[in-house]
Amino acid sequence: MRYQNYNWSKGWEGTNHGWHEVVINNANFDGYHSATKFEEKYQEMLQWLYDNIDKCERHARWILQEDSIHVKFRFEKDYSWFMLRWG
C-alpha cells in the first residue's frame, strides 16, 4: 500500500490536471483534531481506496498534507463513491 501516490517531480498541483479532486480538512472529522487520530483516519481511507477502487494506484492519486487529505480520481463514479463515504 502506497502512503502517498502522486507525481513527485510535478508536485501535487501538477499531477493529473482535470481529474476530480476531493480535499478533506482535519476539521471535517469530529474528534479527529489530533495528528495521531487524523493519521489513523487517513490509513482507513487508504485501505478503503485499495478495497473499493479498481486499480486505485492507476486511477487515483492521494497525498496527506499537514492538515488535509487530497485525493484525485480519474473517473467520476469513483469520485462520487468516495464522496458518499468520506465527504
pTM of the model: 0.88
Q: What is the pLDDT of residue 15?
A: 95
C-alpha triplet 23, 29, 35: angle, nearest 5°: 85
Q: What is the pLDDT of residue 28?
A: 60
Q: What is the pLDDT of residue 42?
A: 92
Q: Where are the beta strands (DSSP E) in the chain?
A: 20-25, 60-64, 68-73
10-residue block means of pLDDT along the chain (87 residues)?
94 95 79 72 95 97 91 98 93
In this structure, are residues 69 and 61 in contact, taking their beta carbons and an 8 Å threshold? no
Q: Which sequence spans correspond to the domains of the chain?
A: 20-86
The upper half-sphere exposure of residue 48, i.e. CA atoms within 13 Å in the direction of its Cβ, equals 16
